[in-house]
């Protein structure tokens, strides 16, 4: 029974049309095991009614007003995540005219491939291409993804001087340290290891270069990072400027909220002036990955682990001495992945200012995609500290992007359409997902 039903029974007042309650989000996303733990619902709630439960999932902590914002900005709920990729088309600087002419030619080639795929889909399925994709078809073998998306600059990069504990080329840490030193940002929302739970990442606002270094490296569980945008507990100047480093779904939610300004309760969404997306095919549940798979099933005490990494399809666990404890194909751990990640077609962080990851570059280097004007400005702060060259293998990025999209199109029950409206009505979601293995979970109990 929905939350409003209590009031309906008590006072006979008919519910206002169009309201979506937290309980609707709960049954369609959280209880349906589709939550990707980005924290967007926590950040979007104007009354601070949503908190984080002990199981690292959003929960209602006080009365829901039915404002619908938690639903609207959830990347697995009302937010059409692919529509965030086009919310702002950056202006092309004169100096980049040649680069963008080349990109336009590549886009035209991609469009030709898309038209060919449309024809093949319609021939094979007997349906129009859009309907075929909505049913899980699309991106046939031999057809790539959509390319790198909107980019201003692309590089293979690494820091000239080592930074302790960094991942791959150390580009993200160097970037944040440079921005802090130059006074361009006041802090960076990152992940660091929990003080109480080994190898569990938790959201942390780093405000000094030393704290950035302390957060270096990767944790493969989500931290509900956007649920930690309440900056009131930190010593920050008025109107602080914050960088957020996170997964593509987190940058999508930030982009959407900033494009639709509102009163976000305690969350200072407008303080985010730079988003850095880490290339991501999926995130994992901490208990399933580190406790069940690594510690219990493979017998590796978490205290013995010095580094965890995912490189070129391999899940690698190393000891404190740098030696490899075990290395296995990442597909062996898919049961520990968040189910909602399967529906994401944004491996490359299209909505971010800068995208960074190891795919597409040699070992020890990072692939860097500078996407926006803000990203280009920020990158200038670190350029002199980096070894830069042309991106080693952009085709490797495109190939993995294509694979990621094939998976997404098989599991995404609604139509994938970057040109469609930003928000999806709750009733439309119900119609798309009803009868699938991701259908909303109905409850008989009355919710208060």
Residue 229: what are its φ and ψ, rounded to 5°? Answer: -90, 10
pLDDT at 301: 96
The residues near 378 (Cβ < 8 Å, ≥ 6 apart) are 175, 179, 184, 243, 274, 353, 354
Please, which pLDDT band fits residue 219 given cuts at 50, 70 and 90?
Answer: confident
Task: Provide the whole-model pTM.
Answer: 0.83
Highest mean pLDDT (candidates 80-89, 176-185, 329-338): 176-185
280 contact partners, CB below 8 Å, separation of at least 6: 247, 248, 341, 347, 349, 357
Q: What percent of the chain has pLDDT over 70?
A: 80
Comparison of pLDDT for 86 and 2, the residue scoring more: 86
Predicted confidence (pLDDT) per residue in 25-70, tens digit: 999 999 999 999 999 999 999 999 999 999 999 999 999 999 999 9
Q: State the average pLDDT over residues 312-326.
A: 91
**Per-residue pLDDT at 89 exceeds 60:** no
pLDDT of residue 145: 55
From 83, 68, 77, select the one nearest 17 (Cα to Cα): 68
Q: Is the predicted pLDDT of residue 448 greater than 50, yes or no?
A: no
Segment 333-357 shows an average pLDDT of: 95
Q: How far apart are the first and last CA of the chain?
A: 10
Taking residues 324-335, report their average pLDDT. Answer: 93
- pLDDT, residue 95, reads 37
What mean pLDDT do residues 271-293 have?
A: 95
Comparing 221 with 108, the larger pLDDT belongs to 221
User: Residue 92 has what pLDDT?
Assistant: 36
pLDDT tens, 289-314?
999 999 999 999 999 999 898 887 88
Report CA-CA distances (Å) from 333 to 16, 84, 127, 290, 337.
45, 30, 36, 10, 7
CB of 108 within 8 A of CB of 367? no
Tokens of residue 179, six digits: 């921005």
* Long-range pairs, 166-169, Cβ under 8 A, ≥24: 166/216, 166/217, 167/216, 167/217, 167/218, 167/309, 167/358, 168/357, 168/358, 168/361, 168/364, 168/365, 168/366, 169/361, 169/364, 169/365, 169/366, 169/386
429's tokens: 């979601």
Tell me the angle at which helices 171-181 and 373-380 cross, rounded to the nearest 10 degrees.
Answer: 80
The whole-angstrom separation of Cα 448 and Cα 437 is 27
Three-state SS for 79? strand
Q: What pLDDT, on a 0 to 100 scale, did the predictor assign at position 151?
A: 92
Whether the pLDDT of residue 143 is over 70: the answer is no
As a whole number, the mean pLDDT across the chain is: 85
The band of 445, judged by pLDDT with boundaries at 50, 70 and 90, is very low
Q: How many CB atoms lie within 10 A of CB 382?
A: 22
Look up residue 182 and give its two tokens. 């130059």
In the Cβ-directed half-sphere of 81, how many Cα atoms lie within 13 Å?
A: 29
How far is the C-alpha of 296 from the C-alpha of 292, rounded, in Å? 5
Is the distance from CB of 343 to CB of 415 less than 8 angstroms?
no
pLDDT computed for residue 411 by the predictor:
92
The pLDDT of residue 122: 54
Q: Please tell me the number of Cα atoms within 13 Å of 201 on its side-chain side.
A: 26
Confidence of residue 11 (pLDDT cuts 50, 70, 90): low
Could you give the domains of the chain? 4-87+414-433 (3.30.70.20), 153-396 (no CATH)
Alpha-carbon distances of 19 from 51, 94, 258, 426, rounded to whole Å: 20, 47, 22, 9
Decide if 30 contacts 40 (C-beta within 8 A): no
Closest CA to 317 of 335, 334, 336, 301: 301
Q: How confident is the model at residue 261 (pLDDT cuts 50, 70, 90)?
A: confident
Give the span between the Cα atoms of 433 and 426, in whole angstroms. Answer: 11
């Amino acid at each position: 029974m929905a939350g409003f039903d209590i009031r309906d029974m008590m006072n006979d007042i008919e519910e206002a049309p169009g309201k979506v309650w937290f309980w609707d989000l709960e049954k369609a996303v959280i209880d349906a095991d589709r939550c990707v733990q980005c924290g967007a619902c926590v950040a979007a709630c104007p009354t601070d009614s949503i908190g984080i439960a002990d199981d690292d999932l959003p929960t209602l902590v006080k009365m829901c007003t039915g404002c619908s914002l938690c639903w609207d900005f959830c990347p697995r709920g009302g937010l059409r995540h692919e529509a965030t990729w086009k919310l702002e088309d950056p202006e092309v600087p004169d100096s980049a005219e040649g680069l963008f002419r080349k990109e336009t030619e590549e886009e035209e080639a991609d469009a030709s491939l898309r038209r060919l795929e449309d024809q093949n889909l319609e021939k094979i399925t007997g349906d129009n291409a859009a309907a075929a994709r909505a049913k899980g078809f699309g991106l046939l073998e031999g057809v790539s993804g959509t390319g790198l998306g909107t980019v201003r600059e692309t590089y293979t990069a690494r820091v000239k001087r080592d930074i302790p504990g960094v991942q791959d080329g150390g580009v993200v840490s160097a970037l944040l340290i440079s921005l802090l030193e130059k006074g361009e940002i006041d802090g960076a929302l990152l992940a660091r290891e929990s003080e109480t739970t080994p190898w569990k990442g938790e959201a942390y606002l780093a405000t000094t270069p030393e704290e950035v270094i302390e957060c270096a490296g990767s944790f493969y569980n989500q931290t509900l990072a956007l649920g930690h945008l309440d900056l009131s507990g930190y010593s920050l100047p008025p109107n602080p400027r914050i960088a957020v480093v996170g997964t593509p779904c987190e940058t999508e939610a930030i982009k959407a909220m900033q494009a639709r300004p509102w009163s976000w309760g305690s969350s200072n969404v407008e303080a985010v002036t730079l988003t850095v997306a880490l290339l991501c095919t999926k995130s994992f549940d901490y208990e399933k990955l580190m406790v069940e798979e690594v510690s219990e099933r493979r017998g590796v005490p978490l205290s013995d682990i010095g580094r965890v990494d995912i490189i070129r399809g391999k899940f690698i666990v190393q000891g404190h001495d740098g030696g490899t404890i075990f290395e296995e194909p990442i597909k062996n751990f898919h049961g520990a992945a968040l189910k909602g990640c399967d529906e994401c077609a944004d491996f490359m962080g299209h909505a971010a200012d800068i995208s960074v990851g190891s795919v597409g570059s040699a070992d020890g280097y990072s692939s860097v995609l500078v996407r926006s004007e803000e990203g280009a400005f920020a990158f200038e702060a670190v350029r002199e500290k980096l070894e830069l060259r042309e991106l080693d293998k952009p085709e490797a990025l495109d190939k993995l992007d294509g694979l990621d999209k094939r998976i997404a199109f098989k599991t995404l029950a609604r139509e994938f359409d970057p040109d469609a409206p930003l928000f999806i009505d709750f009733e439309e979601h119900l119609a798309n997902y009803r009868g699938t293995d991701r259908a909303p979970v109905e409850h008989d109990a009355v919710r208060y």
